[in-house]
Each structure stands twice: as C-alpha cells, then as structure tokens.
Amino acid sequence: MWIWQDLAARASRAAHGSSLVGTVTALVVTTLLIHLLVVYQRRQKLPPGPWPWPVVGNLFVLNGRPHRKLQKLAATYGGLMYIQLGERRCLVVSTAAAAKEVFKKHDQAFSSRPRSLVLTVLTAGTYRSLPAAPYGQYWRQLRRLANTRLFSPATHASHEGIRHGEVRNMMKVLVEESQKGTSTINLKKWLTGVTSNNMTMMITRNRYFDIRDKNQEKRGYDDVLRRSVDANGALVISDYVPWLSFITKLQGWEEYLLGLQRRGREMVAKIIEVDNHKRREKDVTKDESYVPDMVDVLLKAPLDDAGKPLSDGEISSLLLSLINAGTDTTATTAEWVMAELMANPDIREQAQAEIDTVVGLDRLVQESDIPNLPLLQAIIKETFRLHPAAPLSVKRESHEPCVVSGWSIPTQTELILNIYAIHRDPNMYDNPDVFRPSRFLEHPEVNPLSGHDFFELIPFGVGRRMCPGANLAYTLASLMVANLLHSFDWALPDGESPATMDMSEAISFVLYREKPLCLIAKPRRPASLY
C-alpha cells in the first residue's frame, strides 16, 4: 500500500513542479511579448535602428570603440539612426547629409545637455559650466562671454605673441635635446607642453609648466587632465538604467570622480590665482602697461545685462573647462599630423619644400605665413578628417519635440554626432580611409571652422554647441606642425618604417594614439635662430 502512496506523492510533486515551470515560462514569454509590443509601437514614428535588448537596450555600442561600432551600424540602418540606451532614447547622426538635415533646421531643439553622474559630480551638481550647462539663459550668457571676450577675433589676435613665444620655447629646447643625440623624442609630451603653457599664458600671463616635464607638479596636471577627459567618455550604467545604481557604487565611480573634482579644483586654483588678480585690480600703483589676461577679463565682465558678475567658482569652472578642452585635444591633433607625415614621407617632403619656399631659412614660421601654405592647410584638414580629436561629440539632448526627415523625435532624446563616421562618409569622400591631403587642395573652400556650412568636415562640432576655441586650436596646431617641419628633419627609430607604423587608436573620449609617437629629430636650422 505504501508503494502506491509514494508513487502518488511523487506524481503530485512532479505535477506541481511542472505547473511551476509552466507558470514561469508563461510569465517570461508574456513579458517578452509585452516588451516586443511596446518597442514596436514606440519605434513606428522613430528612425530605423537595431532592435534593443530588454533592460539595457543597445547600450553595448558604447563599450570599446563606440565610434566604430556606431559607424558599422549606420552602414545598415542609415545616417539617421535610433538606438535605445537603457531607459534613454538616442538619435545617432552618421552622415554629412543627416547632419545637415538635423542642424540646419533643428540645431536649437538639440542644444541642451543630458544629465550624467560625471557632470553632476564634476560640477558639484550645478551644471554651471560652458560645456555642461543645459540650453537656456545661463548657457547663452556664458557662450556670449566666450565669443565676445575670450575667443573673439580681437582677443585671438592679441594672443598671437603668446602662441609664438611658446612655439619658439619648444623649438629651442627641442634643438638642445636633439643635439645630445641620446634618445628619441616623445613628441606628444612636447606638444602638450606647448598647449598647456599657451593656455596658462592666456589665462594668467604665466608659464606654469616646465616643458621638459621634469617636475612632479606637471605630471600631476597631465594626469588630472587625461583622467578628466577620459571620464567624459566613460560608460556609467546608472546613467542609463537608474535602478542598477548599485553596480555604479560597487565600481566606485562617485568616490573616483569626487577625488578628480578635488584635484581639478586645486590645480585650477593654483593656475588662475583669483585673489591675486583682485588685489592687483585694486592696486592704485599698478603698472598701467599691464595687458589683462582672461581672469582679469572675467572678473570685470558682466554675466548678464543687469551687470551681475561671475562668481569666483564660475570663473574657475569656466577656465578649467577651457583648459580641459583646449590642451590635450590640440596636442593630440598635431601628433596625428606628424604620425601621418611619417607614414607618408613623400607628402612630408613636399610640405617642407613648400614651407622653405614661403618662409625662407632665416626665421621661424609665423601665423601670417599659414594662408600662403595651401599644402600645410590641406594636411591639417585631412588629419582633422581622419583623426578628429573627439570622434563622438559631447552628447546633446532635445529640449522640445521636433520632426526630422519625417520622423517624430520626442523631448529628452539624446543626440550623438558621430564625427568619425561623417568624416569617412563614402558619399562625400573617395577612399575615405586613405590619408590624401590633395582632396582639400582640390576643394580649398571646405572650412572646418564654419560650423554650419561644410558638414562633411566638422572636427569642432556644429551650430550653437560648436567648440568656441576652434580658431585657436586650428591656428596653434598649424603653427606647431609648420615649425616642426621647417626646423627639423624627422626619422623613425631603428627597426621602424613608414609601412609598419602602428596607427592604432586608444580607447577614450579623445582619439589618442595608442602608441606615443617617438621620433629622432635632426635640426635643419642653426640654434641661434631660436
């Protein structure tokens, strides 16, 4: 009898287990069907794009080299593509035609910024900085200050002596180092020294760093700068799936960013010395011949029509954002230029011959020479095209609904401008992966500084959120490269050749070279020239 009871009990448990499995299966299937239905209905009025996974959506595309992943997806779905990043909607622009369609008609609609943990911590939750501020009155006031006071044509011209002084200083030290003949030169280190000191000279009229990189303070500065830039391109899961914030905490993101914020503030406080500027302004015995620097300008500049001044914190935040944006990016661009010229020695020799003809042998290259160097300009443009400093623009966000190419785009849709893909758009460029400066000799009218006319070349972004220091970056990169070519013959280290050069990219918000460019320099001009 007990045997039959045991068999009956087992059958009951099996039936119960089968029922439980069936219930779970039905729940999973129902959930997936609801997910598919919701996604399908949502996407009816949105541009095409890859199907999102539950919870995370298409978030995987932001890992690794997102500019390349998004470029590959755009080849399937088109230049205007929709992706789901966790709980956030995102529009990806990957062709010149799509960029023109979006920004000619809807630039203002997409002129805000999405919130993120990185920006929240680095701005102490205020978002009161030029890159991070949402679209509105405060941002417009900051942008007006940048355009009319910090980077106006008159201000840019007044800083020409600073740029020449820093380039001359670099050339002098490079000549001394090359004459030792002991080792190769890490070119990126030297270029970063020029861009760093150029920024601090503009801000405070002080050369803050030893270009030879012998002191700990400069190495600390470089570290803060690199980490700040990298943080802006980091994938923080809680930005996209808030209920997964425990993962962000386990990763230690907030503590890391707070430490970075503290180090950045300490660094900029040493550089700008607001209190010293205020004391000098009140000093009745001050030198009347003193030329105001950026800190002086910002202390006097009204933030709005009512005459409200910027606070010390706002000045620090604004100048720190300019240092972050204008130092490593310009040095990285110049390094890529030299790398491409080392990989293409015939073009390098042509560029040197052009500079020698225009400039001569007894002086350094001046900014006034650059318009007379069409090949150099084409080389710089081609490098901007192949190696944009920021391959993906800082994300924008729509602050109002709009219709783009017939698609209904709702408010709070993020926008990613894939500059890397746009610059390799096969509809705009033949052999887009090949370094060929002659394409810009054939079309010299293409202007990367325009921001609203030539969407096939937009290294500094487009429209209202375009980099305000674009003219400075273009001028300084051109000046550094021209003088490096004019003053030195360059060679690769033993064992390397143009055909075997490593042109790999590092994974970051900025398109760094994975392997720093180390070269041998042989002076072409007497040391007395410097």
Residue-level pLDDT at 7: 44
Closest CA to 267 of 259, 276, 277: 259
Burial of 164 (0-12, 13-18, 19+ CB in 10 A): middle
Query: Which residues sit in the known binding site?
Result: 467
Where helices occur in 123-186 by DSSP H, the ranges are: 137-145, 153-158, 160-180
Closest CA to 132 of 114, 145, 146: 114
The structural domains of the chain, ordered by start, are 116-387+470-529 (1.10.630.10)
- The total number of residues shown for the chain amounts to 530
Q: Quick check: helix, strand or coil at residue 361?
A: coil
Q: Quick check: helix, strand or coil at residue 418?
A: strand
Residue whose entry in the numeric block shows the structure tokens 């129902």: 30
Order the strands of the 396-397 sheet from edge to edge.
80-85, 88-93, 414-417, 396-397
Closest CA to 315 of 113, 129, 124, 136: 129
Residue-wise pLDDT tens for the chain (530 aa)? 555 455 455 555 555 556 666 676 766 666 656 655 555 556 667 999 999 999 999 999 998 899 999 999 999 999 999 999 999 999 999 999 999 999 999 999 999 999 999 999 988 888 888 899 999 999 999 999 999 989 999 999 999 999 999 999 888 888 888 877 667 889 998 899 899 899 989 988 888 776 665 556 666 777 888 888 888 888 999 999 999 999 999 999 999 999 998 988 888 888 888 877 877 777 656 666 667 788 888 888 887 766 788 888 888 888 888 888 888 899 999 999 999 999 999 999 999 999 999 999 889 999 999 999 999 999 999 999 999 999 999 999 999 999 999 999 999 999 999 999 999 999 999 999 999 999 999 999 999 999 888 999 999 999 999 999 999 999 999 999 999 999 999 999 988 899 999 999 987 889 999 999 999 999 988 777 77
> Which residues have CB under 8 Å from 530's CB, separation 6+?
168, 171, 172, 175, 364
Q: What is the DSSP letter of 414?
A: E
Residue-level pLDDT at 11: 52
Are the CB atoms for 330 and 459 separated by under 8 Å? no
Rounded to an integer, what distance in angstroms lies between the CA atom of residue 335 and that of residue 232? 22
Q: In 10 A of CB 490, how many CB atoms?
A: 19
Residue-level pLDDT at 219: 67
Please state the φ and ψ torsions of residue 487, each to the nearest 5 degrees. Answer: -100, -15
Residue-level pLDDT at 183: 76
Provide DSSP, 500-522: G---PBPSSSS--BSS--EEEEE
What does the block give as tokens for 194? 């020029």
Residue-level pLDDT at 264: 86
CA-CA-CA-CA torsion sign (461, 462, 466, 467): positive
Query: Which residues sit in the known binding site for heme?
Result: 467
